[in-house]
Amino acid sequence: MSPRTQIKGEKMKKFLIEKLREGSYTYEELKKEAEKVFPRVASDTVRKSLERNLSELEDYGLVVKEVEKGEKRYYWYIYPNLYANEDREEKLRHSRKLIPFIKMMFDIELNEEDKRIFDSTPAELEKLYEAAAKTHLRVHLRSEGEEVRNLLAKYKELMDKIESKREELKRRIEDKLKDRFGESETDKAKLFFYHSGLDEIYDIIYCARAPGSKWMHSGKDFRISSGTLWLNSLLIAEEQPDPEDRSKCIPLRGGSLSELREFIEEQIMDKSNTDLVEEIIKDEESLSECKKELRKEIYIIIDGVDNGVPLKGRCSLCPKIIRETASKQGEQTKMQLKS
């Protein structure tokens, strides 16, 4: 089949917009990506379409071209726009708030200022700040060339794999729990097992197998008292919990607290469970190696913020002025396109 001689409609423009919204790219990187997206189109046709559409997007003000280290690099208009002098300090303050969360992702020691920022962040907002830090980080790392982008993809893949296996293990134990004792309607349940108990069982299996760990589980970690079952000082099951706590539990039809304790002991020693945890530990070792490689780039980003360069990209916590600036730019662009 002979190569096509053209790229129909707005496909190249759509491709460029989607790519540049992810982060900045050099011309060669864009060309390489475009050739993957349009494999049946002649290379010269891809090049011409790429150059024509980049030029049009630049004319519209949607794409900005800069020269970095002697090579052309293209940005979606929002990124350079964020560095306008009037709101630079506000963006810097925002960026500095996120640095402690970026450091913690990569096991980088916090300095006193980082600790102050972290300690002053309300606990209920920590997850939001973590998500915001990840958003900015992705933009930075995706703009650093193919090698770093591949590392980032590997990092995300490993994180997802580890989380998936953790959830699989907890789900597996929960299913066995329901099979053994029978799931019940809340008002008819004889026992209530707290969901947090699944995390505790996972932690026990993990800690016993973590590299260098000398911790060993023993029967002394359990305590049955007044209709309650405790594991490592955590309440994991009750015969009659307070009504407001029942939504946190798995209601069980039968069994006793001592039988439940025996079941948990079995799960801690179950080979299929321990094998899965050992897989997780191996994945974490791979993740640690990946982190080491990415950490080099993270130090560059941190150093940039320390020297007055705000984080790239936008997140849900970015100062309003950024969104307002982007909105104005967007309206101007719409007017240009209409005219």
- Residue 319 vs residue 290, higher pLDDT: 290
The residue from 23, 56, 76 where one domain ends is 76
Weakest-pLDDT range from 84-88, 189-193, 220-224, 332-336: 332-336
Find the mean pLDDT for residues 83-96: 70
* 117, 16: one domain: no
The residue from 20, 53, 76 where one domain ends is 76
* 180, 271: one domain: yes
Res. 229: pLDDT tops 80: yes
* 55, 89: one domain: no
Whether residue 2 is contained in a domain is answered as no
* 198, 268: one domain: yes
Indicate which CATH number applies to the domain containing 36: 1.10.10.10
Whether residue 310 is contained in a domain is answered as yes
Whether residue 6 is contained in a domain is answered as no
**What pLDDT is recorded for position 324?**
39
**What pLDDT is recorded for position 258?**
95
* 172, 266: one domain: yes
Q: Name the token pair of 233.
A: 């000082």
Domain containing 47 equals: 11-76
* 22, 119: one domain: no
* 271, 303: one domain: no
pLDDT per residue as tens digits for the range 156-191 = 899 999 999 999 999 999 999 999 999 999 989 999
Whether residue 174 is contained in a domain is answered as yes
* 273, 188: one domain: yes
Res. 335: pLDDT tops 90: no
Decide if 251 contacts 184 (C-beta within 8 A): yes
- Residue 151 vs residue 72, higher pLDDT: 151
Res. 71: pLDDT tops 80: no
- Give the chain's domain count: 3
- Residue 107 CA to residue 193 CA, distance in Å, equals 34
* 141, 170: one domain: no
Whether residue 311 is contained in a domain is answered as yes
Residue 102, Ramachandran bin (φ over 0: left; ψ between -120 and 50: alpha; else beta): alpha
Does the CA dihedral 237-243-247-252 come out positive or negative?
A: positive
pLDDT per residue as tens digits for the range 132-141 = 888 888 887 8
* 268, 205: one domain: yes
In angstroms, how far is the first alpha carbon of the chain from the final one? 41
Q: Give the mean pLDDT of the chain.
A: 82
Find the mean pLDDT for residues 18-37: 84
Whether residue 336 is contained in a domain is answered as no
Res. 216: pLDDT tops 70: no
Quick one: pLDDT band at residue 126, thresholds 50, 70, 90?
A: confident
Res. 82: pLDDT tops 80: no
Whether residue 182 is contained in a domain is answered as yes
Quick one: pLDDT band at residue 218, thresholds 50, 70, 90?
A: low
**What pLDDT is recorded for position 260?**
95
Quick one: pLDDT band at residue 322, thresholds 50, 70, 90?
A: very low
Res. 270: pLDDT tops 50: yes
Pairing of strands 191-194, 222-225: unpaired
* 58, 92: one domain: no
Return the closest-CA partner of residue 166 out of 142, 135, 192, 198.
Answer: 198
Contacts 24+ apart (CB under 8 A), 106-114: 106/291, 106/294, 106/295, 106/298, 107/291, 107/295, 108/295, 108/298, 108/299, 108/302
The 3-class secondary structure across the chain, one letter per residue, is CCCECCCCCCHHHHHHHHHHHHCCEEHHHHHHHHHHHCCCECHHHHHHHHHHHHHHHHHHCCEEEEEECCEEEEEECHHHHCCCHHHHHHHHHHHHHHHHHHHHHCCCCCCHHHHHHHHCCCHHHHHHHHHHHHHHHHHHHHCCCHHHHHHHHHHHHHHHHHHHHHHHHHHHHHHHHHHHHCECCHHHCCEEEECHHHHHHHHHHHHHHCCCCCCCCCHHHEEEECCEEEECCEEEEECCCCHHHHHHEEEECCCCHHHHHHHHHHHHHCHHHHHHHHHHHHHHHHHHHHHHHHHHHHHHHHHHHHCCCCCCCCCCCCCHHHHHHHHHHHHHHHHHHHC
The residue from 76, 109, 126 where one domain ends is 76
The 3-class secondary structure across 107-172, one letter per residue, is CCCCCHHHHHHHHCCCHHHHHHHHHHHHHHHHHHHHCCCHHHHHHHHHHHHHHHHHHHHHHHHHHH
Whether residue 339 is contained in a domain is answered as no
* 172, 268: one domain: yes
Highest mean pLDDT among 31-45, 104-118, 215-229, 252-266: 252-266
